[in-house]
A and B are shown apart, each in its own frame.
Chain A
């Protein structure tokens, strides 16, 4: 079965510092990987996905099949980035599996 792990439940960084939220997955084939974000009192929403290969709000994520990872990175964290971040995996558009989430706190 597919599995997504996010080793950090909470990550605190100072404003302007680089941030990396880790995500590893277990699946032997070619999955689709996503990052979803939930800001305070808002709905869960898509941040980015690996097939798009784009930067959203300064965040990027690269799929590394060798390491089965899809880490989320931003060079300079902003206070408004504070949120809950979920890594998710899908197989052929189905079987969506979410990781347990990492709460990012950006300190002033």
Chain B
């Protein structure tokens, strides 16, 4: 089945130790998104890629970076995780950004714990 895959499902890191979360897709979608969802809160968009074009949300901290080496993969790098970065990280894809193409397909998420 075509889908959005996130690895690992659970990630534990230490305060200040860089960590990378991975997302891959077999849908061949142009757009890939990263969201942060803290407990009992709404998913918050961090950034998205349209193909190779990177779009950062205005309030995304510099501590969060992303890479998209090809259509299928997208990575979220947290350079110096703080305790406040513990959250569920959701990856999503869509065919495009225009109406009728921007239905988002979500991965299962990676739960990040910062010790």
- A and B from one complex: yes
On A, residues with C-beta under 8 Å from B are 4, 32, 36, 43-46, 49, 51, 86, 90, 92-101
Closest to B58 in A: A1
Whether a CB of chain A sits under 8 angstroms from the CB of B70 is: no
In the complex, A92→B48 CA distance in Å? 14
Per CB-CB distance, the 10 closest pairs between chain A and chain B, nearest first, are A93-B97, A98-B42, A44-B106, A43-B106, A100-B42, A98-B43, A46-B103, A93-B102, A96-B45, A51-B99
In the complex, A36→B106 CA distance in Å? 11
Whether a CB of chain A sits under 8 angstroms from the CB of B107 is: yes
26 contacts between A and B (CB under 8 A): A4-B42, A43-B4, A43-B109, A44-B90, A44-B92, A44-B104, A44-B106, A45-B105, A45-B106, A49-B103, A51-B99, A51-B100, A86-B42, A93-B98, A93-B99, A93-B102, A94-B48, A95-B45, A96-B33, A96-B45, A97-B42, A98-B35, A98-B44, A98-B45, A100-B41, A100-B42
Chain B, residues 87-114, CB within 8 Å of chain A (1/0): the string is 0001010001111111111111100000
On B, residues with C-beta under 8 Å from A are 4, 33, 35, 40-45, 48, 55, 57, 90, 92, 96-109
Closest to B42 in A: A98
CB distance from A13 to the nearest CB of B (A): 21
Residue from A51, A90, A94 whose CB has the most chain B CB atoms within 10 Å: A94
Closest to B43 in A: A98
CB distance from A23 to the nearest CB of B (A): 12
Closest to B4 in A: A43
Q: Which residues of A contact B92 (CB under 8 A)?
A: 44
In the complex, A4→B102 CA distance in Å? 18
* Given known A94-B97, A96-B33, contact A101–B106 (CB-CB < 8 A): no
Select which of B4, B42, B102, B104 is within 8 A of A99 by beta carbon: B42
In the complex, A4→B35 CA distance in Å? 16
Select which of B45, B104, B107 is within 8 A of A97 by beta carbon: B45
* Given known A43-B106, A44-B106, contact A101–B42 (CB-CB < 8 A): yes
